[in-house]
Amino acid sequence: MAEPIRLLVVCLGNICRSPMAEGVLRARIGASPLAGQVEVDSAGTGDWHVGQPPDRRAIAKAREHGVDIAGLRARQFGAADHHDFDWVLCADRSNLRDVRRVAPVEGARARSGLLLEWAALEGEDEIPDPYTGGAAQFEHVFQLLDAAADGIVARLRREYRR
């Protein structure tokens, strides 16, 4: 059995975008030829919600689309994540800046980038923060993630020839 591919999705609070991404990616990877070969996790650059479940609007939106994220708990991104993961995919540019600011990057294993760019999704390259928005913003986030998921699976298969 080959080494698992380790993927971390990062946003600000780890209660809206990145747990939704974790759920969607886990489901889509599980239904792909990469099933059982990828570990998906999520984290936030901020610490306000550490230990909390995802925002109830994120849970409801994911559930509406058949994805259960109610059991996830928020954690903060840390320096060790640069070593523990292969890919750190961020929701927006400010998340990416914060991730790269967390030392030490020396000898880091993970490569970091924007999730939508990494998925080669046409159009938008940032997942907008829905926290102060409403149901439409959460639906928009879900649609972006749903559209990006195939690109992520395809990219991983190319990168690892699996």
Residue numbers annotated as active site: 11, 17, 129
CA 17 and chain centroid, separation = 7
Measured CA to CA, the distance from residue 109 to residue 31 in angstroms comes to 27
Q: Binding of ligand 4NP at residue 116 (CB under 6 A)?
A: no
Sign of CA dihedral 120, 124, 125, 130: negative
Nearer of residues 15 and 145 to ligand 4NP, judged by Cβ: 15
Q: What are phi and psi of 53, to 5 degrees?
A: -70, 165
Q: Binding of ligand 4NP at residue 27 (CB under 6 A)?
A: no
Measured CA to CA, the distance from residue 35 to residue 26 in angstroms comes to 9
The b/e string for 56-87 (b: 16+ C-beta within 10 A; e otherwise) is ebbbebbeeeebebeebebbbbeeebbebbbb
Among positions 9, 11, 25, 99, the unique one binding ligand 4NP when judged by CB under 6 A:
11
Among positions 9, 17, 119, 138, the unique one binding ligand 4NP when judged by CB under 6 A:
17
Q: Which listed range, 12-20, 27-35, 61-69, 150-158, lies at the site for ligand 4NP (CB under 6 A)?
A: 12-20
Nearer of residues 23 and 44 to ligand 4NP, judged by Cβ: 44
Q: Binding of ligand 4NP at residue 90 (CB under 6 A)?
A: no
Residues in touch with ligand 4NP (CB under 6 A) = 11-17, 44, 48, 129, 131
